[in-house]
Amino acid sequence: MSYVSFAPLDEAAQRYLSLRTGVDYTIFDYTLPAWLSVAVRDDDEFIMGVLVAEFQVPFEALITAAIDDPRFMSRRLLHAIFSTLFSRAARVTAQCRPDNEKSIRAIRHLGFQYEGFKRLGIEGKWDALMFGMLRHECRWIMPLKEPYRGQFPQAA
């Protein structure tokens, strides 16, 4: 079981994201409208993962995620995250270091398309692979399956 919070990141979630990414995420104010924050904890309050999206410009959200246990990323949660992002943005961008194979696989699995290479694109310290997704490409915001509305067979 897990607990999902869309509240601005608390100090523990900020430290978690900073330690996992190597970028100092303790210096930001995670309130809307500039940020969307998602933190997931297990029943023992241990952080399973954190995702933040920064709206640097009105039409784009730049996401960063650190995930220790990917089991919490249900279709329902991904639907909520991407529906929220695409309610404001025309595109969502993800970037990662070229040597982070696990992150590259996860980004591609979510449906992002490779768009290019940015020298020193992460904090001016590390090169970045750039990935993007447009609203019409996002399989996570397709309507959730409707309940069955047909006739059920009668018992014999």
Give the tens place of pLDDT for each residue, 62-115: 999 999 988 888 899 999 999 999 999 999 999 999 999 999 999 999 999 999
Query: Taking the alpha carbons of 54, 56, 62, 64 in that order, is the dihedral positive or negative?
Result: negative
H/E element, 86: helix 75-88
2-141: CATH architecture: 3-Layer(aba) Sandwich (3.40)
* Torsion angles phi and psi, residue 73, rounded to 5: -80, 75
Q: Locate all alpha helices (DSSP H) within the chain, ordered by sequence.
A: 11-21, 75-88, 101-110
Per-residue pLDDT, 144: 54
Count of C-beta atoms within a 10 Å radius of residue 16: 21
How many helices (H) and strands (E) the chain has is answered by: 3, 7
Query: Domain map of the chain by residue range?
Result: 2-141
Rounded to two decimals, the pTM is 0.85
Average pLDDT value for residue range 53-59: 92
